[in-house]
C-alpha cells in the first residue's frame, strides 16, 4: 500500500530527515532497494551498503544518518521501527466478514458478524469466535474452544478442544493445539493411557509457527503467556508453562510440566527436559537442551559444531580414550 514518508513518520512516531511527500510502496534490503522502497540498517554488518543504496528512505540510528544518501528515519531501535512501518506498507490482506457457504458450524457455536470463517472450516459445539477474527480454509475448531478478537488462523489449523486463545493471535498452517499429552502408565499387559483432561490457555499477541504442536494438559492446563513467539515444528508438551515474551526458534521441544520464565530465548532445535523450572531471561543456544532447573539468567550452551568427518573421527577416538589418558597421567604422577 503506497504511503508517504511523512505518514510513516507520524504513524510510528519517529524523526524523518528528508521530503515527507515521497511515497514508498514496498520494502527491500539496502542493496536491492529501488526508488519506491523503504529499507533499514540495524546491524553494522551492512553499514557498507548504506552509501550506495537506492532506497527512498532508510530506517537507521542517529549515528548512521550522516552516511545516508537518501531520506532517513532516525530511531533508537531501527529494526522495530522498520517492522512497524513495513506492517503499514504491507498490511495483512483484508477479508470480508461472513461465513463461507461450505463451512460447517455447530448450532451452539457463536460467530460474531465481523469474523470471517473461510471455506471448508469446521467449527464444533460451544465454540466462540471473536471480533475481526479470521479462521482460514480447512481449519477445524473443536468443542469448547474460544478465540478472542483479531486473531488470524491462516489455514488448516486444528484446535482440538478446550483451547482458550487470546486476542491478536496468529496461527500458521498445520498448527495443532489441544492434542492429547503423552501420558501412559506401564503394566505387565502394556501401556494404559492416562486421560488428558486439561485444556490449553494462550495469552494475547501469541504467534505459533507452521506444524507446531501444543498439547492439552493432563490435569490442569498447558499455558502460553502473552507475547510469546513460537516458530515452526516446535513441540510444547502437556502442562508446560511458557512465560511472557519468550521466543522459541524452529524445532524447539519442551517436555511435560516444565515451567519457563519470561523473555527467554530458545534457539533452533533447543529444548528442555520435563518437570524443571527455568527462570526469566534465559537464552538457550542452538541444539542445546536444559536438563535441570535454571536459577540464573544468562546464556546456556552444549553443542559441538561440525568438523571435517576425518578430524571428527580422530577426535571421537581421543574422547573415548579419555579414561586411558587419565590413567597415564595418574601413573606419571606416581
d(CA 38, CA 242): 35
Residue 240, interface with a copy of itself (CB under 8 A)? no
Catalytic (active-site) positions: 238
Nearest approach in angstroms of CB 308 to a copy of itself is: 6
- For a copy of itself, which residue of 118, 135, 147, 260 counts as binding (CB under 8 A)? 118
Q: Which stretch binds a copy of itself (CB under 8 A): 13-21, 62-70, 108-116, 137-145?
A: 137-145
Interface with a copy of itself includes 136 (CB under 8 A)? yes
Q: Which of 1, 63, 113, 320 binds a copy of itself (CB under 8 A)?
A: 320
Interacting residues with a copy of itself between 41 and 70 (CB under 8 A): none
Q: Which of 134, 146, 231, 258 binds a copy of itself (CB under 8 A)?
A: 231
Question: Residue 233, by phi and psi: left (phi above 0), alpha (psi -120 to 50) or beta?
Answer: left
Stretch that binds a copy of itself, among 14-22, 47-55, 60-68, 251-259 (CB under 8 A): 251-259
Q: Which residues contact 322 (CB under 8 A, 6 or more apart)?
A: none
207 binds a copy of itself (CB under 8 A): yes
d(CA 286, CA 277): 19
221 part of the interface to a copy of itself, by CB under 8 A: no
Q: Which is nearer to a copy of itself, 15 or 319 (CB)?
A: 319
Closest CA to 235 of 278, 174, 192, 279: 174
167 binds a copy of itself (CB under 8 A): no
Instruction: Show contacts with a copy of itself in window 278-307 (CB under 8 A).
Output: 283-292, 296, 298-307
Classify residue 35 by burial, with Cβ atoms within 10 Å: 0-12, 13-18, 19+.
exposed
Give min distance, CB of 329 to a copy of itself, in A.
5
φ/ψ of residue 63, rounded to 5: -65, -20
Whether the CB-CB separation of 3 and 22 falls below 8 Å is answered with no
245 contacts a copy of itself (rule: CB under 8 A): yes
Please state, in angstroms and rounded to a whole number, the distance separating the CA atoms of residues 229 and 243. 11
Cα dist from 178 to 117, 153, 181, 217, whole Å = 20, 15, 8, 8
Residue whose C-alpha cell reads 472450516 in the numeric block:
121
Q: How many CA atoms lie within 13 A of 321 on its CB side?
A: 9
- Minimum CB distance to a copy of itself, residue 178 (Å): 9
Number of residues that bind a copy of itself (CB under 8 A): 123
From candidates 22, 54, 84, 149, binder to a copy of itself by CB under 8 A: 84
**13 makes contact with a copy of itself (CB under 8 A):** no
Rounded CA-CA distance 36/56 in Å is: 6
332 near a copy of itself, rule: CB under 8 A: yes
Residue placing its CB nearer to a copy of itself in the complex, 66 or 305: 305
Amino acid at each position: 500500500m503506497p504511503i508517504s514518508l511523512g505518514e510513516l513518520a507520524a504513524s510510528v512516531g519517529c524523526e524523518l530527515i528528508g521530503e515527507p511527500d515521497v511515497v514508498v510502496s514496498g520494502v527491500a534490503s539496502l542493496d536491492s532497494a529501488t526508488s519506491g522502497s523503504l529499507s533499514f540498517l540495524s546491524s553494522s554488518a551492512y553499514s557498507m551498503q548504506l552509501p550506495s543504496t537506492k532506497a527512498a528512505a532508510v530506517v537507521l540510528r542517529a549515528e548512521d544518518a550522516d552516511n545516508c544518501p537518501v531520506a532517513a528515519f532516525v530511531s533508537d531501535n531501527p529494526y522495530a521501527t522498520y517492522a512497524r512501518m513495513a506492517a503499514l506498507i504491507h498490511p495483512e490482506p483484508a477479508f470480508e466478514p461472513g461465513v463461507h457457504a461450505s463451512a460447517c458450524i455447530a448450532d451452539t457455536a457463536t460467530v460474531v458478524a465481523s469474523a470471517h470463517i473461510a471455506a471448508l472450516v469446521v467449527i464444533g459445539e460451544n465454540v466462540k469466535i471473536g471480533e475481526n477474527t479470521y479462521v482460514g480454509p480447512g481449519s477445524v475448531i473443536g468443542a469448547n474452544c474460544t478465540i478472542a478478537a483479531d486473531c488470524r488462523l491462516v489455514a488448516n489449523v486444528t484446535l482440538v478442544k478446550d483451547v482458550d486463545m487470546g486476542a491478536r493471535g496468529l496461527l500458521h498452517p498445520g498448527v495443532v493445539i489441544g492434542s492429547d499429552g503423552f501420558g501412559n502408565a506401564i503394566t505387565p499387559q502394556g501401556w494404559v493411557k492416562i486421560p488428558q483432561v486439561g485444556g490449553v490457555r494462550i495469552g494475547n499477541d501469541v504467534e505459533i509457527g507452521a506444524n507446531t504442536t501444543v498439547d492439552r494438559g493432563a490435569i490442569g492446563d498447558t499455558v502460553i503467556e502473552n507475547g510469546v513467539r513460537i516458530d515452526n515444528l516446535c513441540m510444547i508438551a502437556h502442562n508446560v508453562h511458557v512465560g511472557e515474551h519468550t521466543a522459541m526458534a524452529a524445532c524447539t521441544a519442551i517436555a511435560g510440566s516444565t515451567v519457563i520464565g519470561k523473555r527467554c530465548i530458545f534457539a533452533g532445535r533447543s529444548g528442555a527436559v520435563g518437570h524443571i523450572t527455568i527462570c526469566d531471561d534465559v537464552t538457550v543456544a542452538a541444539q542445546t537442551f536444559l536438563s535441570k532447573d535454571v536459577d540464573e539468567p544468562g546464556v546456556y550452551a552444549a553443542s559441538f559444531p561440525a568438523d571435517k568427518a576425518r578430524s571428527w573421527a580422530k577426535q571421537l577416538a581421543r574422547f573415548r580414550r579419555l579414561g586411558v589418558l587419565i590413567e597415564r597421567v595418574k601413573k606419571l604422577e606416581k
